[in-house]
Amino acid sequence: MIKTTNIFGNSLIESIVAISVVSFLIMIFAASYTIITTNKYLKHKNLALNLAAEEIEALRGIPISGLSNRTNGDFIEVPYNIGTWQVSASASAPSLPNVYSLNLPAAISTGITGIATVPGFDFDDYTFETQIKNLPDSPSNWRAGVLFRLHDINNYYKVYFNSTNLYVSKNVSGTETNLNSKLKSFSTNTWYELKIVALDNSFEIYIDDLLELSASDVDENFASGKIALLGINSIHAEYDDASITSGSAQTWNFDSDAVGTTPSQWKRFGLNDLPAGIGKLTIQDYEDTYSDIKDITARIEWTERNITKAVELKTLLAE
């Protein structure tokens, strides 16, 4: 009689092959991870270098007398977008079917939480209009409006409203000064047309084509600048039919843009596109002696896998 024995388990050769396959897969995964990590780092590094170069280029347009000395200060003269903005469909849009939405952030915070810079160069005298609607899930202290003659996050004029007031103010180096204000009710889930007429040193603010505020301010440092849609205190808001008339007219109604995207004209990379990205600007007199020559260092830092990375660009600027 022939006896048959069943052998369970893997042979030595099978085990060796299995181990080899697993090791090979681990090597592939490690190599892929390294490539992905390296590509991400290079992407962040290139962005940081471009932002540092943009900062230095912006400083070239400022008189030396306007470049005050500082150490690791905020970047100046370059406005960056803040918050998550995208085209959304809205049944109530003033011009159907789309609007430009500032999304509700994951973590509620105060201060400026939304900036969307209007496409174009610096503007001086113009009429700017946009429709704005606050949505019901916004915090109770919401504010919405427009920044104009905007230089950077710390320097601009600002028109904004909340549920009870309308304001026009000025920010210089982060310090806000009220230029005018009035009591006025603004309802949630209601569209309001905000219009700003800026002419030389005078400003007129209209709501739904009615003049509500006037203000004036003489400051040659704020004769021109960017324009931006504004959200404050984590507001969830919609904007539509933005237009600027300065010689010729430009209009954005977002109706031909794909829902869920940022229109190409409105895309702008900034420090917020780097993980924990910050800009540090140092301006010193050359060799600490020559005040008519400025030694400039634009440094950008960000975090990669809990490690701080940085790039620096240096230059000398003179009259």
Q: Residue 23: is its pLDDT beyond 70?
A: no
Is 170 contained in some domain? yes
Is 1 contained in some domain? no
* Residue 261, pLDDT score: 97
- Structural domain of 252: 85-267
- On whether both 153 and 141 belong to a single domain, the answer is yes
Using one digit for the tens of pLDDT, what is the confidence trace for 208-255?
999 999 999 999 999 999 999 999 999 999 999 999 998 888 999 999
Q: Look at 69-73, 176-180, 227-231, 288-292 and tell me which has the smallest mean pLDDT.
A: 288-292
> Rounded distance, CA 300 to CA 309, Å?
8
CATH number at residue 179: 2.60.120.560
Is 110 contained in some domain? yes
**CB contact at 8 A, 133 and 145:** no
- On whether both 201 and 229 belong to a single domain, the answer is yes
Q: Residue 86: is its pLDDT beyond 50?
A: yes
Q: Residue 7: is its pLDDT beyond 50?
A: no
Domain boundary among 267, 283, 305: 267
Is 4 contained in some domain? no
> Rounded distance, CA 248 to CA 85, Å?
26
More confident residue, 115 or 120: 115
Which of the four pLDDT bands, split at 50, 70 and 90, describes residue 33? very low
State the amino acid at position 299 in one-letter form: R
- On whether both 71 and 94 belong to a single domain, the answer is no
* Residue 289, pLDDT score: 84
Number of structural domains, the chain?
A: 2
- On whether both 254 and 277 belong to a single domain, the answer is no
Is 209 contained in some domain? yes
- On whether both 35 and 173 belong to a single domain, the answer is no
- Partners of residue 146 on adjacent β-strands: 159, 229
- On whether both 175 and 224 belong to a single domain, the answer is yes
> Rounded distance, CA 196 to CA 178, Å?
16
Using one digit for the tens of pLDDT, what is the confidence trace for 173-207?
999 999 999 999 999 999 999 999 999 999 999 99
- On whether both 263 and 119 belong to a single domain, the answer is yes
Q: Look at 9-23, 193-207, 245-259, 292-306 and tell me which has the smallest mean pLDDT.
A: 9-23
Please name the helix (run of DSSP H) or strand (run of DSSP E) that holds residue 40, with its range, or none.
Answer: helix 12-59
How big is the CA angle at 62 (ends 58 and 67), to the nearest 5 degrees?
105
- pTM for the model stands at 0.85
Residue listed under structure tokens 């940081």 = 48
- On whether both 33 and 154 belong to a single domain, the answer is no
Closest CA to 277 of 304, 297, 313, 296: 304
Both tokens of 9, joined, read: 């388990």
- On whether both 112 and 180 belong to a single domain, the answer is yes
> Rounded distance, CA 156 to CA 213, Å?
18
- Whole-Å CA distances, 54 to 87, 128, 300, 308, 314: 27, 26, 12, 21, 12
- On whether both 148 and 254 belong to a single domain, the answer is yes
Contacts of 190 (CB under 8 A, 6+ apart): 133, 134
Closest CA to 253 of 73, 67, 129: 129
Is 3 contained in some domain? no
* Residue 34, pLDDT score: 45
**CB contact at 8 A, 90 and 238:** yes
DSSP 141-159: T-EEEEEEEEEETTEEEEE
- On whether both 167 and 306 belong to a single domain, the answer is no
Is 2 contained in some domain? no
Is 204 contained in some domain? yes
- On whether both 92 and 213 belong to a single domain, the answer is yes
**CB contact at 8 A, 128 and 158:** no
> Rounded distance, CA 106 to CA 149, Å?
30
